[in-house]
């Protein structure tokens, strides 16, 4: 709010002489009256002459704005009112456009749902190899970032509003040789951007391009290049791996193809009657990860122990520490040579990457479970990934013009580089960014960056498949994409981005059908061919030389806001983090035992410090005890503690970057921890992680999955529990319609929370803020519960997504005094918001506590621009109203309408609920249980099937498949 | 109070002491309202009540502006102070009708001096309770949807919901209590009309007394209707709190789903009601010099009833624990353990101290006949009964079936402001009642005086 006001002031006062004048202080007013009586009169009353002058000027300005607007914002096409309805648009029916979501340069195919040209929801593109129709939390949340009211709206020159044309004059004045011009960008795989970069280098021979990612897979690629002698990208074949060993690599949540890899991994893990085979996963790690929670055997290690572990695995020995785990892993790997896969965290040093590559090579995994393709990233002579060398160039005064395209290096660069100081030595600095962030402040020019849904572009997937980014809405503000700016740097100020892309692909291959590619999102035939006959250079022996101190520190990207890139997104901020269920904050994670030895309790604020050079760097954050964390070590998540850019991210969490140096991107051998005398409250949606001996998440053996019997009442011969709850739906009515049901496979649920985000986007679920979450009033319709089992130090971990159970004998309906919650003919337990008076009795009587109540007017806090994201098919709930999962009744109805028009039954799998569609592992299946041929009916018959708390006689429609344990 | 004074009172084991004639009774009781100047005690008490009432209005205004989110309720504990206080006030409202109706029907003469203000207490307590179901709604402006009224949409309340039964039970109870209280007061209002010094007072009491002339036919009809109303009110004493308890028993929730609740709730209600009668009677007799009418005998009898109902309630606690163990149900057993050892263990043991241990002192006549000890004990019981509702509602809800949902509940400033505000409402109404209406039934007392004087003469 304050920022907006100050912007207005600066907009109206382009020229000023003193701070007093700018602020229009009383003293200044007095001074004005004393010294310039003529000027004073203008501010008080205006005569005819002055009026005409001012009007003339403002008309001129208005004209300029219109002209400006016309060339930047409005597409130069005819506007046709809906007098004649456009052929492809039926008001009320959504249109889907294929596009691509880019994370760390790599693309994942998406389908964007638009309502009357307003993007509202993102689905995965089934044709895209990295998505296969599924999504991850960032893809789901990106639609909200489009409408972020804190986005940069205008070009700024030293905090003053400016225009793109003024900035282009800077570009026009670049030296022809490109001497002293540097571009710093984020990772990219975009073929057209790489093409433009190559042309730029051609035009400006002395220009250099750098790229920087705070969380980078550079070490992996460098190791591969050193080992094979060429730039390569990896493809992991989880579909072929029977045994997977991970050294700190959470491939389920942060690999380059996490959605695809999660699917491939889960496909090998679906235990059904008649197919008991499943892959085996062994994980060694410091901080419990999604992969660690799925592991058969999880080993807690300090960050410095990975070298020793990998050396032992390489030698096939299991002496010393962790011998039991090592023995098991070595034995399993040997038994599955050629169908196993050993992974290691991407930030671990190159030498370690090389050792792990050697292990895979000796197991014969290369070419089988680990394949290589030519690098999807630009060639190293085109784009240098070394930020340190850029900083030394800046420090030595070689850089006159620095163009930073995206990112926030001032915030996220390694602390030893002192990027901010180096930036001061650069002549002209321009920063293209979606937010006015820490880097923007130190730059001369701030340029607004377009959102992915507003811009044209392209990107490659992990396997090289190229896909197109097509805008689904005209840019909301005066922003440009990286591609457009690269073209402008090359002197091309006028070609629309659409033409840049289409021309590039036309040149790339004449056979490419542009319309078809745009329609499908994926450009066919662009997948890279597998490298064959790769020669691995001789291995020089495992160099294990991690020291490890008394207390080690590990840095991890945050599972929702990554390196800080997504910190402006309220959905991601409020998404409970897997393992801790904390949102709106990061924590200093320690194991319960280490915490006890350091006399630490939850929410105690501690100071972590280390010397970098001669300077003592310190950070402060709240401690949180994380069962399963390694001893003698702490973990902090990056991306928090933003101070600028967005009202959402400011003030949440603490910034851990000040402790991170270029040599210690992943771990710090020794850290000082000091307990401070204060507390910081954190918001956790779950505080009790013990199942108390109740059968909430059922654990079954593999044998049971083959020989047992379903425990879903009424399925597989299981008896109905006796119940006093009334039958709402007479059997004769129920027989005539579908019986919607859902099955959730706890064996393949990886706990990633994509379902929660998909549900939030689909069902207009408001964000309530940290204080309300502390009071346990979060609104998520589907939640992912998390349980620990066994010892508090080294527990087993389980996830359980809990949507509404849609009980056939619903206890909530019985107690509602106004019948606001009742049963539909197809067996849905529905909620009539209009009829709800808010007694909350239904929630008290819900054994699953899936009902959410609008304690306050939460939807009022949705900011005006964010309202555009709302799904028009779902009611916005007012305060005082109960709400809950509806099985996406709006999706059911739209499919039913289509089916009725075509006079046919609804096909199995035709309706996908938002959570089901988003789930990367397809753990959620929705359908009609009344149809014995449907997937859901069969899943309910599985031996592993059970209903939650079925002894209460509620007869839930949502059922689970038990987790299989060895 | 000196030791001698206590002993002297103990010896007068009667329901009426001192020398009184028919005229002196009328004079003393109706004089409280119509002739005597305002006392300092009254001004102080009424002011406190009024200020707290203002606090209530303030809290309600803010509540209606912002929503129930200003309170401490959350998911899983979606009911908090509002329902605790509702049940607490309704419970307090039980003693009045119990005294007036049941004791009348079983010819307990000693009820005479305390029935009027006990009934008033009932009405005011029910009025305090009655606002909570409205306040606790998410959308209070639609409260009328819970009432069956004919409408063009053909929509009715959902009659299977205990909340609907509850609303009928409380509304019936409030109506019958009001009518019973008013009818019982008609002869006294006529006395007030006749004795009031000012015209406007005579006019008001005249209207209220419905043209009562003390005619024999009037008395005959009065006696008939009073017996009928007493008969009508009697089952209500049992039904109201039974139905309130069904708000809980009808649910699946362990700690609520219990067949013992209806009688257990009724016993608890009468227990808390008698505690409140003592809380009010002891200062009243002291500050208004009514020791002759509300005697040690009355206090002793109330204390005995307190002990009996307290023992019933204690039996309830024992059996709640026993059935949870005997059921061998995971959830039920956990509720019992969680009450005694969980995060709200302090509340539970406070409850046991207040409702089980403290009342054992009532076995001693010395305690039962010491007004100020009884006064303190009545407070303890009031606190204990509030704790009981806290335990039932909060402690059952905060840890139910699925451990991932478990949470905590804390009443915050707005919860307390509303609770204390209804105390203000109660207090203020009570002080108005003392000032405007006969606090003791004049006509019934005159019957007693007549009887006593006749006996003495004979």
Q: Do B163 and A856 touch (CB under 8 A)?
A: no
Using the predicted structure, report yes or no on whether residue A69 has a pLDDT greater than 60: no
What's the pLDDT score for residue B3?
43
Interface test with B, best of A756, A789, A836, A840 (most B CBs within 10 A): A840
Using the predicted structure, report yes or no on whether residue A960 has a pLDDT greater than 50: yes
Q: Nearest-CA neighbor of A299 among A245, A355, A238?
A: A245
What's the pLDDT score for residue A674?
94
Q: Locate the chain B residue with the closest alpha carbon to A812.
A: B251
Q: Locate the chain A residue with the closest alpha carbon to B406.
A: A688
Residues of A in contact with B78 (CB under 8 A): 840-841, 843-844, 853
Report the C-alpha gap between B247 and B164 in whole angstroms: 9
Q: Locate the chain B residue with the closest alpha carbon to A949.
A: B401
Per residue in A98-129, pLDDT (tens digit) is 999 999 999 999 999 999 889 999 999 999 99
Per DSSP bridges, beta strands A633-638 and A588-590 are: antiparallel
Structure tokens belonging to residue A391: 């900083």
Across the range A83-94, mean pLDDT stands at 74
- Judge contact between A574 and A583, C-beta under 8 A: yes
Dihedral angle at the C-alpha atoms of A83, A89, A92, A93, nearest 10 degrees?
160
How distant is the Cα of B429 from the closest Cα of chain A, in angstroms? 28
User: What percent of chain A stands above pLDDT 70?
Assistant: 90
DSSP A372: E
Report the C-alpha gap between A660 and A666 in whole angstroms: 8
DSSP A817: T
* Least trusted range by pLDDT, from B123-132, B230-239, B423-432: B230-239
In this structure, what are the phi and psi dihedrals at residue A838, rounded to the nearest 5 degrees?
Answer: 85, 45
* DSSP tally for chain A: helices H, then strands E: 33, 40
Task: Enumerate residues 168 to 227 of chain B having a beta carbon within 8 A of any beta carbon in chain A.
Answer: none
Report the C-alpha gap between A79 and A69 in whole angstroms: 15
Across the range A824-836, mean pLDDT stands at 92
Q: Is B400 on the interface with A (CB under 8 A)?
A: yes
Q: How confident is the model at residue A605 (pLDDT cuts 50, 70, 90)?
A: very high
| Residue B4 covered by a domain | no
In this structure, what are the phi and psi dihedrals at residue A353, rounded to the nearest 5 degrees?
Answer: -60, -40
Longest distance between any two alpha carbons in chain B, whole Å: 77
- Assign A692 to helix, strand or coil: coil
Q: Specify whether the backbone of A646 is left (phi greater than 0), alpha (psi in -120 to 50) or beta.
A: beta
Residues written for chain A: 966
Using the predicted structure, report yes or no on whether residue B182 has a pLDDT greater than 90: yes
Using the predicted structure, report yes or no on whether residue A38 has a pLDDT greater than 70: no
Residues of B in contact with A844 (CB under 8 A): 76, 78-79, 251, 253, 397
Report the C-alpha gap between A342 and A251 in whole angstroms: 11
CA distances from A59 to A49, A65, A688 (A): 15, 10, 65
Using the predicted structure, report yes or no on whether residue A94 has a pLDDT greater than 70: yes
How distant is the Cα of B79 from the closest Cα of chain A, in angstroms? 7
Q: Which domain holds residue B170?
A: 18-146+156-457
Report the C-alpha gap between B151 and A20 in whole angstroms: 66
Report the C-alpha gap between A468 and A507 in whole angstroms: 15
| Residue B257 covered by a domain | yes
Using the predicted structure, report yes or no on whether residue A5 has a pLDDT greater than 50: no
Report the C-alpha gap between A639 and A408 in whole angstroms: 11
In this structure, what are the phi and psi dihedrals at residue A443, rounded to the nearest 5 degrees?
Answer: -110, 155
Q: Where are the beta strands (DSSP E) in A419-568?
A: 428-433, 445-448, 457-460, 466-469, 552-557
Report the C-alpha gap between A140 and A572 in whole angstroms: 9
* Least trusted range by pLDDT, from A129-133, A648-652, A668-672: A648-652
Question: Which one is predicted more confidently, B21 or A741?
Answer: A741
Task: Enumerate residues 118 to 157 of chain B having a beta carbon within 8 A of any beta carbon in chain A.
Answer: 136-140, 142-143, 145-146, 155-157
Element (H, E) at B267: helix B261-287
Using the predicted structure, report yes or no on whether residue A162 has a pLDDT greater than 70: yes
Q: Locate the chain B residue with the closest alpha carbon to A689.
A: B404
Element (H, E) at A200: helix A191-203
What's the pLDDT score for residue A339?
94
Please write down the HEC assignment for all residues of A73-107: CCCCCCCCCCCCCCCCCCCCCCEEEEEEEEECCEE
Q: Nearest-CA neighbor of A311 among A352, A361, A369, A362?
A: A352
- For chains A and B, count residue pairs whose Cβ atoms are closer than 8 Å: 168
- Assign A604 to helix, strand or coil: strand
Task: Enumerate residues 311 to 340 of chain B having a beta carbon within 8 A of any beta carbon in chain A.
Answer: 330-331, 334
Interface test with B, best of A837, A878, A884 (most B CBs within 10 A): A837
Report the C-alpha gap between B304 and B278 in whole angstroms: 12
Across the range B194-201, mean pLDDT stands at 86
In this structure, what are the phi and psi dihedrals at residue A634, rounded to the nearest 5 degrees?
Answer: -125, 150
Domain holding B370: CATH number?
1.20.1630.10
> Average per-residue pLDDT in chain B?
89
Interface test with B, best of A581, A805, A818 (most B CBs within 10 A): A818
Please return the burial class of A479, using the count of CB atoms within 10 Å of its CB with bins 0-12, 13-18 and 19+.
buried
DSSP per position, A20-51: HHHHT-HHHHHHHHHH-HHHHHHHH---HHHH
Q: Locate the chain B residue with the closest alpha carbon to A784.
A: B404
Using the predicted structure, report yes or no on whether residue A3 has a pLDDT greater than 60: no
Q: Where are the beta strands (DSSP E) in A563-710?
A: 582-583, 588-590, 604-612, 615-625, 633-638, 667-668, 672-679, 683-684, 699-700
Using the predicted structure, report yes or no on whether residue A75 has a pLDDT greater than 60: no
- Judge contact between A758 and A885, C-beta under 8 A: no
Residues of A in contact with B247 (CB under 8 A): 841
Report the C-alpha gap between A142 and A134 in whole angstroms: 15
What's the pLDDT score for residue B171?
92
| Residue B7 covered by a domain | no
What's the pLDDT score for residue A10?
41
Q: State the distance between the two ends of chain A, measured CA to CA, in whole angstroms.
A: 56
Which residue in A690, A818, A857 is closest to B157 by CB distance? A818
- Residue A596 neighbours by CB distance under 10 Å: 12
Per residue in A876-918, pLDDT (tens digit) is 999 999 999 999 999 999 999 999 999 999 999 999 999 999 9
Question: Which one is predicted more confidently, A192 or A19?
Answer: A192
Per residue in A503-521, pLDDT (tens digit) is 999 988 888 888 889 989 9
- Residue A835 neighbours by CB distance under 10 Å: 18
Across the range B122-148, mean pLDDT stands at 93
Q: Nearest-CA neighbor of A226 among A364, A376, A353?
A: A353
What's the pLDDT score for residue A129?
95
Angle between helices B442-457 and B112-135 (to 10 degrees): 160
- Reported as half-sphere exposure (CB side, CA atoms, 13 A), residue B431 has a value of 20
What's the pLDDT score for residue A81?
54
Report the C-alpha gap between B394 and B388 in whole angstroms: 10
Residues of B in contact with A840 (CB under 8 A): 73, 78-79, 136, 138
Residues of B in contact with A800 (CB under 8 A): 404
- Judge contact between A539 and A228, C-beta under 8 A: no
CA dihedral over A221, A227, A232, A234, signed as positive or negative? negative
Q: How confident is the model at residue A28 (pLDDT cuts 50, 70, 90)?
A: low
Tell me which residue has tokens 């959730």. Answer: A744
User: What percent of chain B stands above pLDDT 90?
Assistant: 64
Q: Do B397 and A777 touch (CB under 8 A)?
A: no
ipTM: 0.92
Q: Locate the chain B residue with the closest alpha carbon to A837.
A: B139
Q: How confident is the model at residue A279 (pLDDT cuts 50, 70, 90)?
A: very high
Structure tokens belonging to residue A98: 């294929």
Q: Locate the chain B residue with the closest alpha carbon to A809.
A: B252
DSSP per position, B345-380: HHHHHHHHIIIIIGGGGGGSHHHHT-HHHHHHHHHH
Report the C-alpha gap between A869 and A146 in whole angstroms: 9
Report the C-alpha gap between B367 and A718 in whole angstroms: 62
Element (H, E) at B427: helix B413-436
Total domain count, chain B = 1
Domain boundaries, chain A: 2-72, 156-216+379-451+477-494, 232-374, 552-684, 699-964
What's the pLDDT score for residue A12?
46
How distant is the Cα of A818 from the closest Cα of chain B, in angstroms? 5
Using the predicted structure, report yes or no on whether residue A657 has a pLDDT greater than 50: yes
Q: Do B161 and A817 touch (CB under 8 A)?
A: yes
Q: How confident is the model at residue B253 (pLDDT cuts 50, 70, 90)?
A: very high
What's the pLDDT score for residue B417?
95
Q: Do B405 and A849 touch (CB under 8 A)?
A: yes
Using the predicted structure, report yes or no on whether residue A50 has a pLDDT greater than 70: no
Please return the burial class of B43, using the count of CB atoms within 10 Å of its CB with bins 0-12, 13-18 and 19+.
exposed
What's the pLDDT score for residue A27?
60
> Average per-residue pLDDT in chain A?
89
Report the C-alpha gap between A621 and A631 in whole angstroms: 19
Residues of B in contact with A783 (CB under 8 A): 404
* DSSP tally for chain B: helices H, then strands E: 19, 0
- Judge contact between A589 and A580, C-beta under 8 A: yes
CA B127 to chain CA centroid, nearest Å: 10
* Least trusted range by pLDDT, from A16-25, A426-435, A703-712: A16-25
Q: Do A692 and B76 touch (CB under 8 A)?
A: no
Question: Which CATH number applies to A232-374?
Answer: 3.40.228.10
- Written out in words, the top-level CATH class of the domain with range A552-684 is mainly beta
Q: Nearest-CA neighbor of A557 among A210, A103, A884?
A: A103
Show Cβ contacts of residue B361 under 8 Å, excluding neighbours closer than 6 positions: B367, B373, B377
- Judge contact between A458 and A188, C-beta under 8 A: no
Please return the burial class of A245, using the count of CB atoms within 10 Å of its CB with bins 0-12, 13-18 and 19+.
buried
Interface test with A, best of B75, B146, B337, B408 (most A CBs within 10 A): B75
Per DSSP bridges, beta strands A945-946 and A958-961 are: antiparallel
Per residue in A835-857, pLDDT (tens digit) is 999 999 999 999 999 999 999 99
Residues of A in contact with B67 (CB under 8 A): 854-857, 879-880
Task: Enumerate residues 44 to 103 of chain B having a beta carbon within 8 A of any beta carbon in chain A.
Answer: 66-70, 72-76, 78-79
Which residue in B138, B404, B405 is closest to A854 by CB distance? B138
Residues of A in contact with B167 (CB under 8 A): 817
User: What percent of chain A stands above pLDDT 90?
Assistant: 75
Q: Locate the chain B residue with the closest alpha carbon to A690.
A: B403
Q: Do B161 and A835 touch (CB under 8 A)?
A: no
Residues of A in contact with B138 (CB under 8 A): 836-840, 853-855, 879-882
Q: How confident is the model at residue B114 (pLDDT cuts 50, 70, 90)?
A: confident
Using the predicted structure, report yes or no on whether residue A43 has a pLDDT greater than 90: no
Q: Locate the chain B residue with the closest alpha carbon to A788.
A: B404
User: H helices within A471-568, ranges in order?
Assistant: 482-489, 497-508, 514-520
Using the predicted structure, report yes or no on whether residue A68 has a pLDDT greater than 50: no
CA distances from A138 to A100, A110, A494, A808 (A): 12, 12, 32, 35
Element (H, E) at A164: helix A164-172
Report the C-alpha gap between A55 and A2 in whole angstroms: 29
Using the predicted structure, report yes or no on whether residue B16 has a pLDDT greater than 90: no
Element (H, E) at A297: strand A297-300
Q: How confident is the model at residue B194 (pLDDT cuts 50, 70, 90)?
A: confident
What's the pLDDT score for residue A46?
54
Interface test with A, best of B405, B407, B411, B414 (most A CBs within 10 A): B405
Across the range A376-403, mean pLDDT stands at 93
CATH fold, domain A156-216+379-451+477-494, is Rossmann fold (3.40.50)
- Residue A39 neighbours by CB distance under 10 Å: 10
Per residue in A723-738, pLDDT (tens digit) is 888 888 888 888 888 9
What's the pLDDT score for residue A357?
94
CATH fold, domain A699-964, is Alpha-Beta Plaits (3.30.70)
Structure tokens belonging to residue B237: 């004493």
């Amino acid at each position: 709010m304050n920022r907006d006001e100050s912007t207005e002031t600066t907009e109206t006062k382009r020229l000023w002489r003193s701070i007093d004048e700018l602020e229009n202080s009383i003293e200044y007013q007095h001074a004005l009256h004393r010294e310039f009586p003529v000027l004073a009169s203008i501010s008080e009353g205006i005569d005819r002459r002055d009026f005409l002058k001012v009007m003339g000027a403002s008309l001129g300005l208005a004209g300029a704005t219109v002209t400006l607007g016309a060339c930047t914002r409005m597409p130069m096409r005819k506007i046709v009112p809906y007098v004649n309805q456009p052929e492809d648009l039926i008001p009320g029916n959504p249109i889907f456009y294929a596009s691509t979501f880019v994370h760390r340069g790599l693309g994942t195919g998406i389908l964007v749902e638009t309502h009357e040209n307003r993007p509202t929801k993102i689905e995965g593109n089934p044709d895209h190899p990295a998505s296969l129709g599924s999504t991850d939390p960032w893809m789901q949340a990106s639609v909200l970032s489009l409408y972020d009211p804190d986005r940069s709206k205008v070009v700024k020159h030293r905090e003053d509003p400016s225009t793109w044309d003024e900035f282009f004059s800077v570009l026009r004045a670049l030296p022809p040789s490109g001497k002293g011009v540097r571009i710093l960008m984020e990772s990219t795989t975009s073929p057209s951007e790489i093409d433009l970069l190559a042309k730029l280098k051609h035009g400006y021979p002395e220009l250099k391009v750098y790229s920087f990612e705070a969380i980078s897979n550079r070490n992996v690629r460098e190791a591969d290049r050193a080992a094979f002698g060429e730039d390569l990208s990896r493809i992991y074949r989880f579909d072929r791996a029977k045994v997977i060993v991970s050294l700190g690599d959470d491939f389920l949540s942060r690999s380059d193809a996490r959605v695809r890899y999660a699917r491939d991994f889960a496909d090998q893990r679906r235990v059904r009657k008649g197919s008991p085979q499943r892959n085996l996963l062994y994980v060694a790690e410091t901080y419990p990860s999604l992969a660690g929670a799925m592991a058969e055997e999880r080993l807690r290690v300090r960050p410095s122990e990975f070298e020793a572990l990998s050396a032992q695995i390489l030698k096939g020995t299991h002496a010393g520490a962790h011998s039991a785990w090592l023995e098991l892993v070595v034995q399993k790997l040997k038994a599955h040579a050629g169908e196993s896969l050993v992974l290691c965290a991407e930030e671990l040093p190159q030498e370690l990457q090389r050792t792990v590559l050697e292990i895979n090579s000796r197991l014969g995994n290369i070419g089988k479970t680990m394949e290589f393709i030519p690098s999807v990233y630009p060639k190293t002579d085109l784009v240098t990934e070394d930020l340190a060398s850029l900083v030394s160039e800046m420090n030595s005064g070689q850089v006159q013009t620095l163009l930073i395209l995206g990112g926030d290096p001032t915030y996220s660069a390694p602390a030893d580089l002192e990027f901010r100081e180096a930036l001061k030595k650069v002549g002209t600095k321009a920063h293209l960014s979606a937010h006015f962030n820490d880097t923007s402040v130190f730059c001369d020019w701030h340029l607004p960056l377009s959102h992915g849904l507003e811009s044209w572009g392209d990107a490659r997937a992990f396997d090289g498949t190229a896909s197109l980014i097509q805008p689904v809405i005209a840019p909301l503000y005066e922003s440009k994409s990286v591609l457009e700016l690269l073209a402008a740097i090359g002197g091309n100020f006028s070609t629309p981005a659409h033409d840049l892309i289409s021309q590039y692909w036309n040149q790339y291959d004449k056979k490419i059908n542009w319309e078809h590619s745009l329609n499908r999102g994926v450009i066919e035939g662009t997948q890279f061919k597998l490298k064959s006959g790769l020669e691995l250079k001789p291995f020089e022996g495992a160099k294990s030389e991690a020291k490890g101190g008394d207390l080690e520190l590990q840095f991890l990207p945050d599972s929702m806001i990554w390196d800080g890139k997504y910190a402006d997104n309220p959905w991601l901020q409020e998404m409970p983090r897997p393992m801790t269920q904390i949102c709106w904050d990061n924590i200093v994670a320690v194991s319960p035992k280490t915490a006890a030895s350091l006399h630490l309790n939850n929410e105690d604020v501690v100071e972590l410090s280390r010397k970098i050079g001669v300077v003592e760097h310190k950070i402060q954050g709240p401690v949180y005890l994380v069962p399963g964390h390694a001893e003698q070590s702490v973990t902090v998540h990056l991306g928090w503690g933003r101070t600028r850019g967005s009202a959402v991210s400011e003030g949440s969490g603490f910034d851990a970057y000040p402790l991170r140096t270029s040599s210690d991107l992943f771990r710090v051998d020794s850290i000082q921890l000091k307990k401070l005398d204060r507390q910081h409250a954190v918001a956790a949606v779950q505080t009790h992680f013990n199942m108390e001996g109740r059968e909430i998440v059922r654990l079954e053996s593999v044998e049971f999955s083959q020989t047992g019997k379903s425990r879903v009442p009424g399925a597989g011969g299981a008896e109905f529990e006796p119940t006093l709850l009334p039958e709402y739906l007479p059997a004769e009515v129920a027989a005539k319609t579908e019986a919607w049901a859902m099955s959730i496979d706890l064996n393949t649920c990886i706990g990633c929370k994509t379902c929660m985000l998909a549900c939030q986007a689909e069902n207009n679920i408001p964000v309530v803020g940290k204080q309300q979450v502390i009071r346990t009033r979060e609104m998520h319709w589907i939640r992912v519960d998390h349980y620990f089992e066994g010892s508090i130090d080294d527990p087993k971990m389980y996830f359980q997504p809990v949507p509404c159970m849609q009980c056939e004998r619903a206890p909530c309906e019985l107690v509602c005094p106004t019948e606001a919650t009742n049963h539909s003919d197809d067996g849905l337990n529905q909620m009539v918001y209009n009829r709800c008076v808010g007694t909350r009795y239904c929630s008290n009587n819900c054994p699953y506590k899936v009902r959410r109540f609008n304690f306050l007017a939460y939807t009022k806090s949705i900011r005006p621009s964010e309202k555009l994201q709302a799904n028009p098919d779902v009611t916005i709930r007012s305060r005082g109203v109960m709400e809950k999962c509806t099985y996406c009744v709006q999706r059911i109805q739209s499919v039913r309408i289509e089916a009725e028009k075509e006079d046919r039954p609804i096909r199995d799998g035709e309706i996908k609920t938002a959570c089901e569609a988003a789930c990367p592992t397809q753990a959620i299946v929705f359908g009609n249980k009344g149809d014995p041929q449907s997937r859901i009916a069969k899943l309910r018959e599985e031996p592993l099937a059970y209903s939650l708390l079925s002894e209460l006689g509620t007869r839930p429609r949502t059922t689970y498949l038990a987790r299989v344990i060895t | 109070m000196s030791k001698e004074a206590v002993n002297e009172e103990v010896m007068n084991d009667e329901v009426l002491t001192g020398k009184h004639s028919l005229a002196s009774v009328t004079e003393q009781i109706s004089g409280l309202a119509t002739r005597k100047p305002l006392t300092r005690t009254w001004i102080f008490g009424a002011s406190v009540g009024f200020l707290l009432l203002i606090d209530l209005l303030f809290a309600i205004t803010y509540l209606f502006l912002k929503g129930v989110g200003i309170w401490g309720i959350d998911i899983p504990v979606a009911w908090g102070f509002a329902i605790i206080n509702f049940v607490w006030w309704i419970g307090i409202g039980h003693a009045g009708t119990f005294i007036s109706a049941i004791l009348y029907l079983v010819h307990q003469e000693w009820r005479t001096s305390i029935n009027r203000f006990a009934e008033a207490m009932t009405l005011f307590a029910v009025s305090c309770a009655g606002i909570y179901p409205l306040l606790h709604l998410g959308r209070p402006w639609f409260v009328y949807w819970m009432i069956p009224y004919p409408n063009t949409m053909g929509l009715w309340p959902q009659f299977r919901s205990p909340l609907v039964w509850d609303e009928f039970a409380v509304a019936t109870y409030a109506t019958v209590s009001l009518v019973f209280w008013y009818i019982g007061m008609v002869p006294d209002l006529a006395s007030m009309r006749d004795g009031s010094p000012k015209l406007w007072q005579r006019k008001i009491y005249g209207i209220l007394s419905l043209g009562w002339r003390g005619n024999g036919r009037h008395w005959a009809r009065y006696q008939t209707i009073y017996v009928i109303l007493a008969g009508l009110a009697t089952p209500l004493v049992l039904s109201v709190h039974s139905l309130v308890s069904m708000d809980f028993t009808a649910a699946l929730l362990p700690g609520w789903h219990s067949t013992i609740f209806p009688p257990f709730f009724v016993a608890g209600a009468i227990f808390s009601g008698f505690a409140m009668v003592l809380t009010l009677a002891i200062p009243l007799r002291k500050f208004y010099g009514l020791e002759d009418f509300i005697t040690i005998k009355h206090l002793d009898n109330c204390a005995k009833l307190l002990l009996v109902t307290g023992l019933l309630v204690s039996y309830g606690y024992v059996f709640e624990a026993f059935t949870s163990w005997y059921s061998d149900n995971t959830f039920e057993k956990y509720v019992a353990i969680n009450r005694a050892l969980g995060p709200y263990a302090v509340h539970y043991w406070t409850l046991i101290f207040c409702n089980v241990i403290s009342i054992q002192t009532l076995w001693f006549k010395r305690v039962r006949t010491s007004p100020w000890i009884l006064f303190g004990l009545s407070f303890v019981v009031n606190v204990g009964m509030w704790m009981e509702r806290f335990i039932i509602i909060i402690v059952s809800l905060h840890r139910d079936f699925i451990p991932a949902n478990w949470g905590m509940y804390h009443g915050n400033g707005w919860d307390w402001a509303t609770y204390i505000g209804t105390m203000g409402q109660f207090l203020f109404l009570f002080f108005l009642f003392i000032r405007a209406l006969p606090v003791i039934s004049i006509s019934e007392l005159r019957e007693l005086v007549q009887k006593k004087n006749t006996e003495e003469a004979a």
